[in-house]
Amino acid sequence: MSGGAVIGPLSGKSAFVTGGGSGVGAVIALHLAQAGAQVTICGRRLGPLQDVAAEHRAIGCVQADITDEAAISTAIANAAPDIVIANAGASESAPFVKTELDAFDRMMSVNLTGTFLTLREGARAMQKKPWGRLIAIASTAGIKGYPYVAPYAAAKHGVIGMVKSVALELARKGITANAICPSFLDTEMTERSIANIVEKTGRSEDEARASLVASIPVRRLVPPEDVAQAVLWLCGTGSDMITGQAISVSGGEV
């Protein structure tokens, strides 16, 4: 465990991060804590959450499913956050003509409905605060299309539309709402996508990875630390005029 009371640019602020037990969510949580915020992470699996919380004294955790309205409402209300990061999500792939309705519904539930509930409860918690930040971790799939992930892309497009609308509603209340849109991240989710490509196409792992990296002009996966730094920028001094934006963190892809 690292850190005691940290004096930083976010000292005195509290943050709530969904999907904080792994991947980019865990990295965001650590960066916020290191900047001085008191951070609550949530997710469905308690063990990984506790592992991340053990890395910094300013991180606590709560077990909650973002698609469970009562659970996420209680978790966010208890945390009373100034900063809410709607990061939790999931991805599945299949040819469009073979995509079952259940798969479409799963992608909408976790990626769009879960983000809606997280941001709505965050906005409710911030109503009496003079300052607030709502940030959705979306995807370049919310800006453009990709083959074989139509439901995922549809959900992420929905997230961006929602953020733009929320930003207009809250524009005069000291609360900004933005989406960060990474390309393929160097995280466990991308590793699962690579494994899926290998299984379904017979390509080698290196070939599958190269097929994803090929869409990124810098020819490497996006470091989760770059996404965390974008979050800190949106929460930092001089960010008050940044709202309603879909910020691409994609190595020049879009």
Q: Same structural domain for residues 156 and 121? A: yes
| Residue 63 confidence (pLDDT) | 98
Q: Which of 17, 39, 139, 152 is catalytic?
A: 152
Identify whether residues 116 and 209 lie together within a single domain.
Answer: no
- pLDDT of 199 over the 90 cut: no
**How many structural domains compose the chain?**
2
Nearest to 246 by CA among 155, 120, 138: 138
- Does one domain contain both 174 and 190? no
Confidence of residue 1 (pLDDT cuts 50, 70, 90): low
More confident residue, 122 or 198: 122
Q: Which residues of 140-159 are buried (b: 16+ CB within 10 A; e: fewer)?
A: bbbbbebebbbbbbbbbbbb
Residue 238 lies in a domain: yes
Name the average pLDDT for the chain. Answer: 92
Q: How many CB atoms lie within 10 A of CB 217?
A: 12
61 and 110 in contact (C-beta within 8 Å)? no
223, pLDDT greater than 60:
yes
Percent of the chain with pLDDT over 70: 90
Range of the domain at 191: 184-221
State whether 129 and 206 are in the same domain: no
Catalytic residue check, 152? yes
Helices (H) and strands (E) in the chain, counts: 9, 7
How much is the pLDDT for 213? 77
Residue 7: pLDDT band with limits 50, 70, 90: confident
Are 109 and 94 within one domain?
A: yes
Any domain includes 179: yes
Comparison of pLDDT for 220 and 54, the residue scoring more:
54
Query: Using an 8 Å Cβ cutoff, are 87 and 139 in contact?
Result: no
For residue 218, the model assigns a pLDDT of 87
Together in a domain, 42 and 28: yes
Say if pTM beats, i.e. exceeds, 0.75: yes
- pLDDT tens column, 16-72: 999 999 999 999 999 999 999 999 999 999 999 999 999 999 999 999 999 999 999
**Is residue 95 located within the same domain as residue 112?**
yes
- 14-18 β-sheet, strand order: 59-63, 38-43, 14-18, 83-86, 132-137, 175-182, 246-249
Residue 55 lies in a domain: yes
What average pLDDT does the segment 128-137 reach? 97
Together in a domain, 199 and 147 = no
CATH code, domain with 163 = 3.40.50.720
Q: Within this chain, do residues 199 and 81 fall inside the same structural domain, yes or no? A: no
Residue 210 phi, psi (nearest 5): -65, -35
Cα–Cα dist 59/38, whole Å: 6
With vertex at residue 51, the alpha carbon angle to CA 50 and CA 55, rounded to the nearest 5 degrees, is 110
Residue 4 lies in a domain: no
179 and 189 co-located in one domain: no
Residues 132 and 239 in one domain: yes
Residues 171 and 202 in one domain: no
Domain contains 24: yes
Q: Is residue 62 part of a domain?
A: yes
In a domain, 131, yes or no: yes
Compute the average pLDDT of residues 239-251.
97
* 254 located within any domain: no
Q: Which residues of 223-233 are buried (b: 16+ CB within 10 A; e: fewer)?
A: bbebbbebbbe
Structure-token pair, residue 106: 């799963």
Instruction: List, in sequence order, the alpha helices (H) in 128-244.
Output: 150-170, 188-201, 205-213, 224-235
